[in-house]
Structure 1
Amino acid sequence: MNNRSIIFQLSFYILVTVTVTVAIGVYLNYNFSRRILMQKIEENAIYQSDKVTNKIAHYVVTAQEVTRNVSAQLPYYDENGKLEEFLTNVLKMNRILSGFRLELKGDDGKRYIAIFAKSEKEFLVLHDEKYCQFPNFVEIKSIVAKQTEGLWSDPFYCPLDTSLLVTSFTEAVRNSDGTVVGYLSGQINLNFLAKLVAGIDIEKGGLSFILSKDGTFLTHPNPTWVMKKNIYDIPEKIFPKKRAEYEGMMRSHQEGSGFAFPEFFGYEKAWFHFSPVPYTYWTVVIIVPANKLFLELDSLLRNVILLSTLGLIAVLLIIVYIMRKMLSPLSTIAKSIKRLSTGDIRVGDQRNEIQMLSSSLNELQARYTKYVNEQNQSKKDRRKIEKDLKSAKEIQTAIIPAEFNPGRKMAVIDLYALLDPAETIGGDLYDYFFVDSTHLLFTMGDVSGKGIPAALFMAVASTLIKGKSTSLSAHEIVEHVNNELSLQNANQNFLTLFLGILDIETGEFSYCNAAHNYPYILTASGEVRTLDKTHGLPVGVYSSKAYAGDTGYLKAGDRIVLYTDGVTDCRDESGEFFGNSNLAQTIKTIPDFSAKESTLYIFDRLKEFRGEADQSDDISLMVIRYKG
């Protein structure tokens, strides 16, 4: 065989490989035909069930949104005496809903209003409690009163028409302060379920039905089963294997499939598929008799053999064509590699493809070596940048004051602050120092942007604040700092800044807020107040800008909390902001702690809220406790 030509050897090996491949393919097709057919049936079942679940979800979502919107507007229409007219008009415009059930609390007791659509123009209005409630209404009320989301009821028969199967979505009615003043239930007619399921086109003579949360049949080809039988109560012989597994998947609202022996098919083996309906606890089930699943097996096998034979013939023709054209493509490939290695579109007169490939590989090796050297240099440059950043962080840390230690004379002040940058270095700043023996200057700011530019701007601003603090007027100091920063601000950075000066003997402090976050004051009695005044634009935007100021007072035991927007803009893993309301509530719950303990208490709550989410902005906190 080795003495044969390359063309002969290649032809022989390719023919043997193709023949073995075709034989294996036919064998695998024969053994996996059932799996292919089963996949086809399952895909069709999933497709049909998805169509039904999407239609049901449309009804459910529409009913939910209408009920939510109506519950939000109910207090307004109730105060204006147009409640029944409003509910009737909503039913006219939303034919998905078949009625409303309303329970309202009042000073003179509970009120009940039930409005049902008898036709497109006729509506029945009742004020009887029995028409406003349904089987698990008390349980649903206790749940929706504690959460912001409404809740669907179990299906039940309408008291006006016992042949009408309905379900209700209940939403709490709240007044402007969030107090629950009633419960509104939007009702939909479930007869549409039977119509949707009847429209499913199941192959192989199958059937489909829908189950409720507890397994009760909501629809079935045998109408005597509806609301009368439960799938979890069926005989053991229907699910001889994996009964507990299937039941667990259905109860936990999962999708699955398997084999059973249903009563409807005379306990003959059948394949089934079940999937949950979005926004509800219902489940769509599709069943197909097993003896009708594999009728196409023989036809499929014949088609596979025919296609395999045609494919073998096609491969033989391709082999002949490739052998004839082998030398030409080899030469083309060698020249292409040569051009790639040299970068020159012109190729010399060298005709030996093997030698051409060898020289091209040598050239590629040289280019690869150059590439590796460049990568190593890039790593060195990156390490240098990291070293510079570390040095910059150390410098920034040195600018920020160390832990507050006023000494015995200043024992009336307890102060602590921390800074947690989002990157190696950040743009937040805080500072505190005594202007004279009785006046403490404290400040906090947030520079626009992050990284080295923000850190440099922060350093300049911090230096200017110390240099310009020659008076006891907060707004004058802010004006001086703004003038200096605005004159040399080519990058258009700016700084939100809060600056206060506290008289430690009287507790009076003057302050100026240049578009910074509003500080909070936690009084000794546990009350939370906000210094909600802004006295001008951020610092560094416009020169010669005048800033106003205000004064406040701290009593013994009062604490003032300063922070940057990295606190309120902190997000959890779902993207929700921590916000001012959470911060105010957190401050309100701080025990009688020192300034340091209070600061760390807020910071720990912030870390718990953020969880595993990335920190998006610099975080700064400062707490001053006045003990005078």
Structure 2
Amino acid sequence: MRPKTLQQRIIIFILIPVFFILAGMGWISYLYTRNAVIKQWSETAIAKLQRSAHMIDMRLGKPKDLLLMLKDSYNQDQSLMIQTFIIEQLRKTEGVVEVNHKLIENFNMKPNPPGMHGMVKSNSMHVDRMENFQLSLPRYNAALSGETISLSTDYIDENGKKTGQIEVVISFQDLIEQISKTTWWKSENAFLIDNEGNILIGTQLSRDAYDPEKPVKFGRTDPLEKETMAALKQNPYGTLFGPGHPPDEISGYYHLNEAPWSLVLISPGRQVLKSILNFRLYYFVVGFLSILGVILFIRVSISGTTAAIKKVSEAANDLANGFFTEPLPVLSGDEVGMLTGNFNKMTKQLKERMELKEAINLAMEVQQSLLPPAHFSYGNIEISGCSVYCDETGGDYFDIIEFPEDEGKICVVVGDVVGHGIGAALLMATTRALLRSRVTQKGSLSQIMNDVNKLLCMDVRDTGRFVTLFLLMVDVKKGEVQWVRAGHEPAMMYNPEQDKIIELKGKGIVLGLDRRWDYTQTVYGPVPKGTVILISTDGAWEVENDSGKRLGKKRVEEVLQQSVSLSPAKIVESIVSETRQFRGEVRQNDDITLLVLKFRENPL
């Protein structure tokens, strides 16, 4: 159903789109804020896990450091005293409940001095390295009435043979005591797991139910836990989101440095995003009620305005049918009154525009009459050209000038005045007149261009307007071409002997810019039979299609090379057809002028 009244249009085309825009903005704001909250939660969770992991790493790091010091002591003088001291330090380390040595039987060793029980029996024992640091799962120690873990490593001699093992027994409760007292550990769903997925401790896992022989597996059934386990193998820390919008659950994980363990934190997504979800609900409810209120207010207040607009509409209908009525009375000073006054002004200006349109049509006829015939022959040369304007009048032009007193020579010129419309057309006519009057006098092409430039500079001065020009003269007797280029695109010449396109270049700035500029002419010859020369304005290859892509100069060259066997008229038609086909329904945005010279097969 199409809207019939102004009220319906305002509701359909203004209020409803505004509603959807506000809803969209609200949704985008929600997504942005949600992502910011999730990112903040992720950073906070990683920071919590990192601090807690550091607590455990600090507890495990000291025994490991002492074990490494013990390894280095075996190959030093007075190693027995150093070993005794290090092991005593191990026993005194916080959380360490026991230190045990195990040596390989039949190992060559000497008796210990008195008082060195449980120590390595000979300072002649050589240890090359310690390896295979191993950390056991928590086990219940009946003697200590609590859980412990074992940190063990092997003694390896210089031959790579295992000579013994040292084991450090650490209280598991003492190891996790600090993290178990944190607020987030008590309130969140958190786990300490090993690399195999065994849960060492969890906030929702009873320690009485923990069995080291049959530990509970993390990620057995829950998809997010499985993804977390997989991510732990790839990255030392990070966050993951479960399915749904918002996600059902969010997990954060952090891998310890001193143990093959990881801390994992899992929180419900709605709990993390609770404030954002409430904001979303309030935003849409309030927005919907506000739109309804605005619709009712507009319906009541606009009824008087529509009557006044209806009168303007009726007068506009009469104007569309060609009837210029008397000015409408302006009865108010509001927008409707301004609309009525502007309508009266528009009616007056429309009459003036119609008169101006007639004048422009006349100017177009005059400009078309200034162009030479579309097809022209001079001896062995065929010439065809055309100008396709994007407005009624334009600044492009081409001309063919004969030399009455110097047979065997003919000039062709293509020019492009900056801009479009009446102003450009007037400057084009001026340039044409100056060039025609000067060409008929004696002088080289460069002298002709210098004189035209000086006169044109006097006309345009500081207006910012200028003209690009390509002036080419064919000397039939000498079989050569001469040209001067004044800021114009180089002409394209097809050379049949080389079977390729050659650009006719040359130095020279635009006309009307610098009256002191000295133009130079370029000569090419002899011209082979079958040569085709195309002089064009840039509008031919700057045509754009509906995608904003330009036709390009290379494509124009391809069309020219494919059409060299045709007549100049057909070549011009082929290029114009290519530009129209390329732009499709897109409006032409620049004037196009093409001039083609073809040297017949007969020798010059």
TM tier, shorter chain?
Answer: 0.3 to 0.5
Task: Give the number of the structure whose alpha-carbon radius of gyration is greater.
Answer: 2
Q: Normalized against structure 1, the TM-score is what?
A: 0.43
